[in-house]
Amino acid sequence: MSLMKPLLILASTSRYRRELLERLRLPFAVQAPQTDETPRPGEAPAALALRLALAKAQAVATRHPDAVVIGSDQVADLNGEPIGKPGDFDRAAQQLHRMSGQQVVFQTAVAVVRRDCGFERALLAPVTVTFRSLSEAEIKHYLALDQPFDCAGSAKSESLGVALLERIDSDDPTALVGLPLIRTCQLLRAAGIDPLSPP
């Protein structure tokens, strides 16, 4: 008799992460992690992303110790300064002005926690993005159309935001959207769920 696969839970309220995880064709539930995302004083963007990804997975795993829980977080890194979600048009415009003509590293972290067997790991998938030199008119037009106010760094690369960019360098293609699926699969296999294993 084969053992049942553990329940898979995505600890996230992000529709982008939910849509990405659906690509793996695994059944999963979604729960809000309710994690404080305030950066610590002097905390580097990569460290912040890793800490929050793990904290989100841990928060939900506490309530579901038999489940495999995925947490993820993304912090835009402009010369060592964390750039978060803008929340509104004006802050998004300010972010894009600052990133115009710059290289920004989107520090995307994924964590998987499975309490019943003591598994807990987090991986970082940095994505280096080179922004074009952007005019005021381009920024305003883009923000009016894409409204990326819930995206770190104010740019949706999977949508019109790709027109803001000159180059994307990554070894995990979905990391920029918010969930690095290559690393997610790696962690899921280590935790006991293989996306390519027949049911």
Residue 178 lies in a domain: yes
Domain range for 73 is: 8-191
Burial 38-66 (b: 16+ CB within 10 A, else e): eeeeeebbbbbbbbbbbbbbbbbbeebee
Q: What is the pLDDT of residue 3?
A: 59
Could you tell me what percent of the chain has a pLDDT over 90? 81
Residue 74 lies in a domain: yes
| Cβ pair 75, 82 in contact under 8 A | yes
Residue 3 lies in a domain: no
Q: What is the pLDDT of residue 158?
A: 87
The SS3 assignment for 64 reads coil
Residue 72 lies in a domain: yes
Residue 37 lies in a domain: yes
Q: What is the pLDDT of residue 109?
A: 98
Residue 196 lies in a domain: no
Domain count of the fold of the chain: 1
Catalytic residue IDs: 73
Q: What is the pLDDT of residue 1?
A: 30
* CATH number of the domain where residue 44 is located: 3.90.950.10
Residue 143 lies in a domain: yes
- Report pTM: 0.90
Per-residue pLDDT of the chain (199 residues; tens, 9 = 90+): 345 789 999 999 889 999 999 999 999 999 999 898 888 999 999 999 999 999 999 999 999 999 999 999 999 999 998 888 899 999 999 999 999 999 999 999 999 999 999 999 999 999 999 999 999 999 999 999 999 998 888 988 888 999 999 999 999 999 999 999 999 999 999 999 999 988 7
Residue 186 lies in a domain: yes
DSSP per-residue letters across 33-44: -----PPPTT--
